[in-house]
Structure 1
Amino acid sequence: MSNSFLTSPIPKNEPVKSYGPKSTEKREIKAMLKKLKKEKRDIPMFIGGKRVTTNKKVAIHPPHEIKHTLGHYNRGTKKHVNDAIKSALSAKDAWAAMPWQDRAAIFLRAADLLCGPYRARMNAATMLGQSKNIFQAEIDAVCEMADFFRYNVKYMTDMYAMQPESVDGIWNTLEYRPLEGFIFALTPFNFTSIAANLCAAPAMLGNVIVWKPSESQIYSAEVIMDLFEEAGLPPGVINLVYVDGPTAGDVIFNHKEFAGLHFTGSSGVFNHLWKTIGNNLPKYKSYPRVVGETGGKDFIIAHPSANPVEVAVACIRGSFEFQGQKCSASSRAYIPKSMWSAVKKKMTADLKSIKTGTVEDFTNYVNAVIDEKAYDKITSYIKAAKKDKGAKVILGGKFSKTNGYFIEPTVILASDPKYTTMCTELFGPVLTIHVYEDKDWSKTLKLVDETSPYALTGAVFSDDRAALLEANYALRNAAGNFYIND
């Protein structure tokens, strides 16, 4: 093998299964949901290849069925964070020295295991622990995670192949080395795939990881570690600890071997972490790499020429899938006055057909928000909108936490384009709409761009090419992912 140059397999997107009536995959996921609900798992931390338990047990409840207990996780301490760092650093040299194709093979095997024997368990854990319906779990916890593993191997191969030209008598080579120390992966609750990828991507390149997941994602995090272990990941390469943020931060951000942060979460938390790292620069062996993705106050804007049915469907699907708990979810929309009646009519009809409830009933489109803190925050804005003069709740607006953290898909009509829910990220099933005068298209584009500091995703709907070109330029800094008629 030392005399060969290897290329990675050509990656393909993992097909999304339908889970239709009488399908094999539906039968398997139903059985797995039933099995997991009967179990009471004692979920350990994973440090240096060992499963670590403590005397501090914290119950895990499905957000949609808060009176049911799925099991407990073992809360750690600063000692466990230090142990995780030591284990990572002990594994570092051997892992970095492993040929890249062998590291790649581990994650390609993880993808195959995920799409095969782990599929039902990963989906079921995500459904129960994070209250995702089967479609949302399938596209995330299996398909996107497998795509991350497979495509990242291809990207790694391409990167390693990028070499400088050599000249007569001289060999020029570029070595892509892992960072000098360990990487801290701080991951969110809303995507199981992102949690796995924030660990796997740097590990694939020879880095070692200390991973702190969101407390609300621990149930599926255990499955990820089992998957990595079965795929052949050596002990200590990825270490999983369950501690609160300050406990992790006090140890990690004061450790001289801290080499990088891989983060997805709120902008406020990321700002705090970046500032902390900056203040601690003299403590570190090298300059840490800081990589993060944060919030979004994502928009939809419709031109008077747009198809109102398409706009209404985009508002519903973009805002209410997974209860709006995606950083890519639309949460503010700008609709021209001439179109508003048709858009409202279609949205009203469609929302009447949407069911809310537990994930075990596959006809439920909307499930529960992630926890009580999120529930209380989101509902406080709905309550305020019912009283404020500048806004009106026109669809939905009901909520209850008797059995689970359920909030109806809610549409707020804001006469004030700077009303708080037009500007503030709620991370829930709430869409705020501002109706603008048709003649104010250009003015409204500027309003969209200037309303929020976030610039993650946005969409424009129009059948007028000139209007699309105008929007494309006016909103060039308003969204990283910019959709046209989609």
Structure 2
Amino acid sequence: MLKGFFHVPKAVNEPVKSYAPNSPEKAAVLAAYKKMWNEKIDVPLYIGSEEIRTGNTRNMTAPHDHQHVVGTYHLAEKSHVEKAIANALESRTRWANMAWEQRAAIFLKAAELIAGPYRAKINAATMIAQSKNIFQAEIDASCELIDFLRYNVEFMTQIYNDQPKSDSAVWNRLEYRPLEGFIYAITPFNFTAIAANLPASAAMMGNVVVWKPSDSQVFSAKVIIDVFKEAGLPDGVINVVFGDAQMISETIFASRDFAGVHFTGSTHVFKDIWKTIGGNIHHYKTYPRIVGETGGKDFVLAHPSADVSQVVANTLRGAFEFQGQKCSAASRAYFPKSLWPAIKEEMGKELASMKMGSPEDFSNFITAVIHEGSFDKLVSYIEQAKKDTDAEIIFGGNYDKSKGYFVEPTVILASNPKYTTMETELFGPVLTVYIYEDAKWNETLKLVDETSEYALTGAVFSQDRYAIEEATVALQNAAGNFYVNDKPTGAVVGMQPFGGARASGTNDKAGSALNLLRWVSPRTIKETFVTPRDYRYPFLGE
């Protein structure tokens, strides 16, 4: 083993490229998009050193052109999941014993591969697979993923550097061991960065992983796999399986060596996972770590002192970027009666300027929602709002799935502050607005806090510092990420650790050392230099 106290490169946030007309990055990503659009890839299971093609496949299509097939992926059977577990456990000893700086180098190299030769490819894959416009792809698949990899390496060294006090007679040391067993990573469709970070953060701390990406994200997950392989991640450290989520999870949770789950997805699924783990608790070798970031019903609250243009611009960004398919997306808004006419007028103008279509056309701000199930769910709520007497669609409300799953940015005005779409997570481009009386600011704070079961993100807009303080205190449990005069989306790794509580998850703060601490099991080592040879203490001299 090498000798030395090594220092990793200082983590810096990756600059976001502009993709302006005639820029080299725009040309590169469009060329990558066209190439990947016209190819058909075949994605196997990755178990140990093997690429397994089961022959039982599903097509991968683009949400904005759902008849266009860009590839297929192979579905696992139970035996493949069991094999993935076995390969992970077989790889564990060597990986866990690898010097931390060697693990760090792998993920630092992965960050540089994404920053350079893979940037256009991973962005294009995210545009195709998840229908993100180029800016949303850039801040996710490139910048946030690079930031996760760089900062997690730095956080890892900070954790290892946190040591207990010693004195001349006793040397106390704290060893941060990987968990005993394997980690199960379940990742969502909406962020390529999250899909990579959930398995990678656990692996970085010396753990082995079985990773199940979302069926709707396999196309860009393949690029992540390619990057990790080129970066030198050993076979068996992260094993990748696709297919029936229930079967895969049941097989994983039945293993005595299951040591933890890293999850991002729906609240309902996460609660079922927690229940299953609890039911199996007597079977496990150790208490599994349960880390999850789940749903959100995120709010924008404007005080009567707020700047109207700031409120409108940031509400529209927060609600409709990536078609509202972010757990942090603004989906309920509370505006004061005195500002509503101006807000409504400006909102209408701005919404009318938003273009919708394929992400290949850089003039499109809005693209498609992820799949037909999501489309149909959103349409059902929109149609119900058209019928209900306590709600009115004031902007949008149109949709079309003939070519792609397109839902127009829709704003519902609710006279009932507990109307269904004020409380229910829709995960799409639907914002519900409630107008409150200016004099009822304090009552509205209470309403915001009590309306939703979730507590992920929220934003307050005000030019009155007393009002900002009142909102910050009153809403302290309503959002794990709270924004003042900014949209409730766009947390940056290393700057705004991300996560919420209540039904929004375990609040283990991705993008900080707090998350990495969940993937280690500390061991205290006390070494005494001069050991006593007599059991008698001085008080026995009486």
Q: Is the 8 A contact 1:211 1:240 kept in 2?
A: yes
Give the SS at the match of 1:364.
coil
> What letter corresponds to residue 7 of structure 2 in structure 1?
T
Alignment deviations for residues 283-328 of structure 1 (CA, whole Å, 9 cap, x no partner): 1111000111111000011111111111111111010000000011
- Residue 169 of structure 1, CA deviation: 3.1
> What is the rounded CA distance, in whole Å, between the counterparts of 2:94 and 2:113 in structure 1?
24
Please name the residue that 1:218 is paired with: 218
Give the SS at the match of 1:263.
strand
Please name the residue that 2:164 is paired with: 164
Give the SS at the match of 1:412.
strand
Please name the residue that 2:64 is paired with: 64
> What letter corresponds to residue 302 of structure 1 in structure 2?
A
Please name the residue that 2:538 is paired with: none
> What is the rounded CA distance, in whole Å, between the counterparts of 1:385 and 1:22 in structure 2?
44
Give the SS at the match of 1:175.
strand
> What is the rounded CA distance, in whole Å, between the counterparts of 2:69 and 2:148 in structure 1?
31
> What letter corresponds to residue 86 of structure 2 in structure 1?
K
Please name the residue that 1:23 is paired with: 23
- Residue 243 of structure 1, CA deviation: 1.7
Please name the residue that 2:500 is paired with: none
**What is the TM-score of this pair, normalised by structure 2?**
0.89
Give the SS at the match of 1:472.
helix
> What letter corresponds to residue 395 of structure 2 in structure 1?
L
> What is the rounded CA distance, in whole Å, between the counterparts of 2:132 and 2:198 in structure 1?
20
> What letter corresponds to residue 153 of structure 1 in structure 2?
V
Is it true that 1:141 corresponds to 2:141 in the alignment? Answer: yes
Alignment deviations for residues 227-258 of structure 1 (CA, whole Å, 9 cap, x no partner): 00000000000000002111112210110000
- Residue 467 of structure 1, CA deviation: 1.2
Is it true that 1:85 corresponds to 2:85 in the alignment? Answer: yes
Please name the residue that 1:286 is paired with: 286
> What letter corresponds to residue 75 of structure 1 in structure 2?
L
> What letter corresponds to residue 226 of structure 2 in structure 1?
D
Please name the residue that 1:463 is paired with: 463
Is it true that 1:298 corresponds to 2:298 in the alignment? Answer: yes
- Residue 468 of structure 1, CA deviation: 1.2
Please name the residue that 1:205 is paired with: 205
Please name the residue that 2:364 is paired with: 364
Is it true that 1:119 corresponds to 2:114 in the alignment? Answer: no
- Residue 476 of structure 1, CA deviation: 0.8
> What letter corresponds to residue 271 of structure 1 in structure 2?
K
Give the SS at the match of 2:316.
helix
> What letter corresponds to residue 105 of structure 1 in structure 2?
A
> What letter corresponds to residue 92 of structure 1 in structure 2?
R
Give the SS at the match of 2:339.
helix
**What is the TM-score of this pair, normalised by structure 1?**
0.99
- Residue 49 of structure 1, CA deviation: 2.5
> What letter corresponds to residue 132 of structure 1 in structure 2?
K
- Residue 165 of structure 1, CA deviation: 2.0
Give the SS at the match of 1:132.
coil
Is it true that 1:237 corresponds to 2:237 in the alignment? Answer: yes
Please name the residue that 2:4 is paired with: 4
> What is the rounded CA distance, in whole Å, between the counterparts of 1:94 and 1:391 in structure 2?
60
> What is the rounded CA distance, in whole Å, between the counterparts of 1:307 and 1:22 in structure 2?
35
Give the SS at the match of 1:225.
helix
> What is the rounded CA distance, in whole Å, between the counterparts of 2:142 and 2:330 in structure 1?
24
Task: Identify the range of structure 1 (309-318 vs 188-197) with the bigger mean alpha-carbon deviation.
Answer: 309-318
Q: Is the 8 A contact 1:306 1:461 kept in 2?
A: yes
Give the SS at the match of 2:177.
coil
- Residue 3 of structure 1, CA deviation: 3.0
- Residue 464 of structure 1, CA deviation: 1.1
Please name the residue that 1:99 is paired with: 99
Alignment deviations for residues 5-58 of structure 1 (CA, whole Å, 9 cap, x no partner): 111111000011111111111111111111001111111111103211111111
> What is the rounded CA distance, in whole Å, between the counterparts of 1:143 and 1:45 in structure 2?
27
Please give the residue correspondences for 1:362-401 in structure 2 after superposition, counting only pairs within 5 Å: 362-401=362-401
Is it true that 1:438 corresponds to 2:443 in the alignment? Answer: no
> What letter corresponds to residue 365 of structure 2 in structure 1?
Y
- Residue 2 of structure 1, CA deviation: 3.4
> What is the rounded CA distance, in whole Å, between the counterparts of 1:13 and 1:471 in structure 2?
30
> What is the rounded CA distance, in whole Å, between the counterparts of 2:467 and 2:20 in structure 1?
41
> What letter corresponds to residue 188 of structure 1 in structure 2?
P
Give the SS at the match of 1:177.
strand
Please name the residue that 2:317 is paired with: 317
> What is the rounded CA distance, in whole Å, between the counterparts of 2:279 and 2:242 in structure 1?
25
> What is the rounded CA distance, in whole Å, between the counterparts of 1:430 and 1:390 in structure 2?
16
- Residue 213 of structure 1, CA deviation: 0.7
Q: Is the 8 A contact 1:74 1:242 kept in 2?
A: yes
> What letter corresponds to residue 135 of structure 1 in structure 2?
F
> What is the rounded CA distance, in whole Å, between the counterparts of 1:477 and 1:246 in structure 2?
32
Give the SS at the match of 2:68.
coil
Is it true that 1:413 corresponds to 2:413 in the alignment? Answer: yes
Please name the residue that 2:520 is paired with: none
> What is the rounded CA distance, in whole Å, between the counterparts of 1:2 and 1:16 in structure 2?
36
Please name the residue that 2:513 is paired with: none
> What is the rounded CA distance, in whole Å, between the counterparts of 1:256 and 1:435 in structure 2?
53
Q: Which runs of 5+ in 1 are unaligned?
A: none
- Residue 203 of structure 1, CA deviation: 0.2
Once the two structures are aligned, what percentage of the paired residues are identical?
A: 60
> What letter corresponds to residue 33 of structure 1 in structure 2?
Y
> What is the rounded CA distance, in whole Å, between the counterparts of 2:368 and 2:49 in structure 1?
34
Please name the residue that 2:49 is paired with: 49
Q: Is the 8 A contact 1:309 1:342 kept in 2?
A: no
> What letter corresponds to residue 77 of structure 1 in structure 2?
E
Please name the residue that 1:269 is paired with: 269
Q: Which runs of 5+ in 2 are unaligned?
A: 487-542
Give the SS at the match of 1:332.
strand
Give the SS at the match of 2:482.
strand
Please name the residue that 1:32 is paired with: 32
- Residue 193 of structure 1, CA deviation: 0.2
TM superposition outliers: structure 1 runs of 4+ over 3 Å: none
> What letter corresponds to residue 97 of structure 1 in structure 2?
N
Give the SS at the match of 1:171.
strand
> What is the rounded CA distance, in whole Å, between the counterparts of 2:133 and 2:208 in structure 1?
33
Give the SS at the match of 2:394.
strand
> What is the rounded CA distance, in whole Å, between the counterparts of 1:463 and 1:170 in structure 2?
56
- Residue 423 of structure 1, CA deviation: 0.4
> What is the rounded CA distance, in whole Å, between the counterparts of 1:272 and 1:383 in structure 2?
30
Q: Is the 8 A contact 1:187 1:265 kept in 2?
A: yes
Please name the residue that 2:497 is paired with: none
Give the SS at the match of 1:146.
helix
